[in-house]
Amino acid sequence: MRLKATALLALGLCLAAPHIKAQGTQSATTIGGQWYLNYRFGEVGTDDVNRFGVDRAYINIRHRLTDRLSGRITPDVTLDGSGDLKVRLKYAYLDYAFPDLGVFTRPHVEFGVVHRPWLDFEEHLNYYRVQGTMFIERNGIFNSADLGATVFSLIGGQMDEDYRQCVNAGYPGRYGSLAFGVYNGGGYHAVEQNVSKSFEGRLTLRPLPDLVPGLQFTYHGVIGKGNVEVDAPDWHVSLLLTSWESEHLVLAGQYYWGKGNFKGTAIRANGEALPQDGYSVFAEWRFTEPRVSILGRYDYWNDTPDVDGGESQRIIIGVAYHVKGHSKILVDFDGETRDSFDTLGTKTWKLAFEYSF
């Protein structure tokens, strides 16, 4: 959903103070930002690439109205296919926090333009969205946000402070976490073309929080229809992820199988949803001094598993310097092929900057 630039400017001016607290209440407004700037060169198919770019530019405005009720609005600046900068609405939701309920810790619900269950979780494991989209989004199955409602909860309390500070503070449930919801299905930058809804859910289990605290197993599923007006094809997703994190090493592997996609474009000639599968592995080695990470990722995707010729492979290798928090400088190589790595169809180098506050 697009916003006029003047409306965005007016919104920023109205909330210009980064921290505003109403006396005698719990109300508070905070403003943050995150943007990805890059220089990219190489080859994509038969085309040469040599350009500066802006992948994303977010302004995050949050307001806490009461102890339990808060809200967020996030305009998103991005480049469209013609190279024009567009302003869209990435998030605009109310967030209500419930009291703990048995094993369900810090449950809350988002309503509006909200996080979907999967990608926010994965991007708190692989912090390199600045390099490019994650495996499942890059292959067009779904994106990160949609209009709808999402319920979140940790399971069995939280990991201790040492783990949250030294390993990962994202989704730190002692025995895992979960998220599920219902959505229009077409994603945050698409108009809904039909009246169907998608049902999406993620369950993550941390089976040995004391012996192997960084080990988690995750399943994510989707049942829905593609976002087309007439004869919408099925859209079904199953994702399995095994991950392990420590202070210096992150390992993750995921396997996808399903049919169709959220746009309704992964179809056969007769309009039936096309079955697809694939897998991705990711690794990151973190050095303490200097604050440097070495990362690698391998993707295998088969968009026509019932016939030959649909396979693609991608390899990503990079080095990142962590300035502060999530702000970083990244240099990476991205290669993709339909045949073998001796004949890369895509080979690009990128110098990328993530600025986050």
Whether 22 shows a pLDDT value over 90: the answer reads no
The confidence band for 79, taking pLDDT boundaries of 50, 70 and 90, is confident
Among the listed residues 117, 123, 131, 67, the one whose alpha carbon sits nearest the alpha carbon of residue 95: 67
Separation in Å, CA 153 to CA 14, 15, 182, 215, 267: 33, 30, 16, 18, 35
Whether 312 shows a pLDDT value over 90: the answer reads yes
Whether 24 shows a pLDDT value over 50: the answer reads no
Query: What's the pLDDT score for residue 305?
Result: 72
As a whole-number percent, the residues of the chain with pLDDT over 90 amount to: 82
Whether 93 shows a pLDDT value over 70: the answer reads yes
Instruction: Assess contact for 202 and 219: CB atoms under 8 A.
Output: yes
**Mean pLDDT value across residues 204-226:** 98
Whether 352 shows a pLDDT value over 50: the answer reads yes
Long-range contacts of 244-248 (CB under 8 A, 24+ apart): 244/212, 244/214, 244/215, 244/216, 245/125, 245/167, 245/168, 245/214, 246/167, 246/214, 247/166, 247/167, 247/286, 248/285, 248/286, 248/287, 248/288
**Mean pLDDT value across residues 337-346:** 83
pLDDT in tens, 115-169: 999 999 999 999 999 999 999 999 999 999 999 999 999 999 999 999 999 999 9
Which residue range forms the structural domain that includes residue 259? 5-356
Query: What's the pLDDT score for residue 13?
Result: 38
As a whole-number percent, the residues of the chain with pLDDT over 70 amount to: 91
Lowest mean pLDDT among 16-30, 309-323, 328-342: 16-30
Tokens 């080695």 sit at which residue?
A: 285
If one counts the domains in the chain, the total is 1
Query: What's the pLDDT score for residue 12?
Result: 46
pLDDT in tens, 173-206: 999 999 999 999 999 989 999 999 999 999 999 9
Whether 238 shows a pLDDT value over 80: the answer reads yes
Whether 25 shows a pLDDT value over 70: the answer reads no
CATH at residue 205: 2.40.160.10
Whether 171 shows a pLDDT value over 70: the answer reads yes
The confidence band for 19, taking pLDDT boundaries of 50, 70 and 90, is very low
